[in-house]
Chains A and B, each alone.
With several copies, the nearest count.
Chain A
Amino acid sequence: MAEAITKPALERHGLDEEQLRWMLRNMLLQRTLDNRGFQLNRQGKIPFATGSEGHEGIHAGSALAFARGRDVLVPYYRDIGLCIGIGMEPLQVLLAMFARAADISGGRQFPNHFTGRAIGLMSISSIIAAHLPHAVGAAYAMKLRGESGRAVLASFGDGATSEGEWHESMNFAAVHALPIVFLCENNEWAISTPRDRQMKVRDVVEKADGYGMRGEIVDGSDPIAVYGVMNGALERARSGGGPTLVEAKCYRFLSHTTDDDDRTYRTREEIERHRHLDPVPRFERVLVEAGVITSDDVSAMKREILAHVNDVTDRAEALPYPLASDLYTNVYEGTHEPWL
């Protein structure tokens, strides 16, 4: 970041100013939603929250590369910004936190386990890596039907790469040259387990070769770089060029969730050492310095976002829980008695 920041540098991947501001807004919105979750939890209003703090650049850049109405996203539970970025309403984030009936899962899922068939957002469980074969299957369907111009974006953490199902998914996608991008958000930690207890290699991307898959690594705190890599990978997938494993480096600044206390396993100093990677202030500064946005406009944007988040918080909170009888629906199509 020593060199002077110029608009042409920012626009190197064909991004225009509006798109750059869109990414900033997405990132600020994530940060605000994160804060809201932890705040509501402290207030005792919701039992649980988790946040994307540190991952915002990955989400903004990837979401922008996602082709709405065509691509399919199979997200990770940390991907608030990515889900919003492809078109999910922020209200959904709050509805999930409050477990309201109007939540798309009807108050069934943990927060951050979004779904939205209408926007190409595939439902996931909490079981790490179990969603990846589904992403591969969706990509297979696209290829089988000859739907070029479509691709699947599947995301996961560094921790997920240890699971057998991650391996099987990578391998299947490579063998069949499927239209899919595997996005690893490597934040150095799986709860309390540091990278070097998870894997012997330094970079997750080193695993791509063993599958005969293309691999790319990108600085996840730079949404423009992320966009560039993700857009390239998705375009390649959409046009028959096969899968890519993208590793986006980042750092998890918060505890794993509100149930976790990261003081038990990492020092405050370590966190501070990584603070310069925080993508939100960094990207804000970059855009301001390059003249893409003024400080005043950033402030206005933040006010607008906060107002919006306040509004959806109030609206979500005011809505009702599901009914007890809702427990029994959607087990199967129609009735669900095991004894007929």
Chain B
Amino acid sequence: MAVASPSTVMNNVEAVRHTLYEALKNDERTLVLGEDVGARGNVFLITKGFIEEFGAERVIDTPLAEASIVGVAIGMAMEGLRPIAEIQFADFIYPAFNQIVGEAAKTRYRSNGDYTCPLVIRTPYGGGVRGALSHSVSIEALFYHVPGLKIVAPSFPADIKGLLNAAIDDPDPVLFLEHKKTYRLVKGEVPSEHYTIPIGLADVKHPGDALTVVSYGLYVHQAIEAAQRLAGEGLSVEVIDLRSIRPMDRTTILASVRKTHKLLIVHEDNKFGGIGAEIAAMVAEEAFFELDAPIRRLCGPDVPAMGYALPLEEEFMVSTDEMADAMRELVRY
């Protein structure tokens, strides 16, 4: 199969697939479980062929029940396995909320370290794919407040491999978010050997000195494109790809803000109470006198979700043009 001889250039689906495949091959404690991950090979074909190679006991087509997908995985993790659970679409993670927030995140704490919960929960999230109300939500802000959880949301193939490896190795529960629009859209070089990227480190994807832009997921790609446009106009913008949402990389953000003195946060998720709120609050607390302009957030509008109709989806999503405009405005502030 393709993943047996990995090519250097992959899209995001292939990066997830390649990393999962290696994990299953190299560590027999690992397994994947979720809806339609077996014969169907996951709805995006991420685990296609796995069941034939690793067997139905390690590639588990679960009943349609998210609380038990996560809850059973927790029990496996407590009993020494390294489960990688899948929620078919992030929109369907709500029934598992109790198991994630009430249980996985507190296992180590409540037992004072007697039990641990080395669990990965992967799920595709995000819009721009005509997913309508229930196949396009962002969920990170519903979880990032929760001590005991880690959350990553890489969106470059090489970051996906490094962070998914780190998540699988991690002794604590990690929510691994994959922006589904980037699945086939984004391609990049992926080193063939095994490597990890530490959870919690952001990455400057486009250096600059007149404005700091912090983003993650699909929008990082658009932000980079916008920054490149502005570079053509002689405006220098630094784009930071958060990659990890909890823990989050204060050092990289503050270093950049201390250089540029301006901050724009861009995310697809609704603005009110979103990830950007904490970033803005942290910077307003720690680097207040470094700022030459108000901190601006360019985010999803505060409505429940994008609709199915194209104009509703487009209105919800922030376009690259809008990003470029906001950047220009702030640079010139």
Contact = CB atoms under 8 A, between A and B. Distances in A.
Q: Do A and B have CB atoms closer than 8 angstroms in the complex? A: yes
Interface of A: 47-48, 72, 74, 99-101, 104-111, 113, 115-117, 122-123, 125-128, 130, 132-144, 159-160, 162-165, 168-169, 171-172, 175, 190-193, 197-199, 259-260, 264-265, 321-333, 336-340
Contact of B67 (A106, A142, A165, A260): A165
Contacts of A171: 63, 65, 68
Max chain B Cβ within 10 angstroms of own Cβ: one of A142, A159, A331 = A331
Interface in B101-125: 102-103, 106-116
Contact of B307 (A99, A164, A168, A264): A99
A78 B156 CA distance: 37
B13 interface: no
B147 A134 contact: no
B68 A128 contact: no
A137 B63 contact: no
B98 interface: yes
A338 B247 contact: yes
Contacts of B133: 108-110, 125-126
Interface string B265-301: 0000000110000000010000000000000000001
Given A193-B35, A331-B302, A337-B302, 20 more contacts: A101-B309, A106-B307, A110-B132, A113-B110, A122-B115, A127-B102, A127-B103, A136-B68, A137-B73, A138-B78, A140-B76, A163-B66, A199-B63, A260-B43, A326-B312, A328-B301, A330-B109, A330-B112, A331-B109, A340-B200
Contact of B91 (A100, A123, A127): A127
B197 interface: no
By Cβ-Cβ distance, the 4 closest A-B pairs, closest first, are A137-B75, A133-B71, A107-B309, A126-B134
A322 B64 contact: no
Contact of B132 (A108, A197, A264, A340): A108
B130 interface: yes
A99 B308 CA distance: 6
A115 B115 contact: yes
B112 A105 contact: yes
A326 B306 CA distance: 11
Contacts of B102: 125, 127, 130
Nearest to A96: B308
A305 to B, nearest CB: 26
B82 to A, nearest CB: 10
Interface stretch (B54-62, B157-165, B213-221, B255-263): B54-62
B201 A141 contact: no
Contacts of A326: 307, 311-312
A55 to B, nearest CB: 18
Contacts of A260: 40, 43
A330 B65 contact: no
12 contacts: A106-B309, A113-B110, A123-B78, A125-B134, A126-B91, A134-B78, A137-B73, A138-B78, A142-B79, A172-B62, A327-B301, A333-B108
Contacts of A192: 36, 38-40, 61
B309 A193 contact: no
B112 A108 contact: yes
B76 A110 contact: no
Given A137-B76, A144-B58, A172-B62, A127 B92 contact: yes
Interface string B32-54: 00011011110100001000000
Contacts of A100: 309
B31 interface: yes
Contact of A168 (B67, B94, B282): B67
Contacts of B248: 338-340
Nearest to B148: A331
Given A108-B109, A137-B73, A340-B251, A321 B310 contact: yes
B264 to A, nearest CB: 19
Max chain A Cβ within 10 angstroms of own Cβ: one of B35, B61, B114, B314 = B114
A136 B78 CA distance: 11
Contacts of B108: 330-333
B79 A123 contact: no
A338 B103 contact: no
B115 A331 contact: no
B67 A105 contact: no
Contacts of A340: 200-201, 247-251
B286 to A, nearest CB: 9
B35 A190 contact: yes
Max chain B Cβ within 10 angstroms of own Cβ: one of A190, A260, A340 = A340
B18 interface: no
A136 B83 CA distance: 13
A332 B172 CA distance: 6
A141 B309 contact: no
Contacts of B310: 99, 321
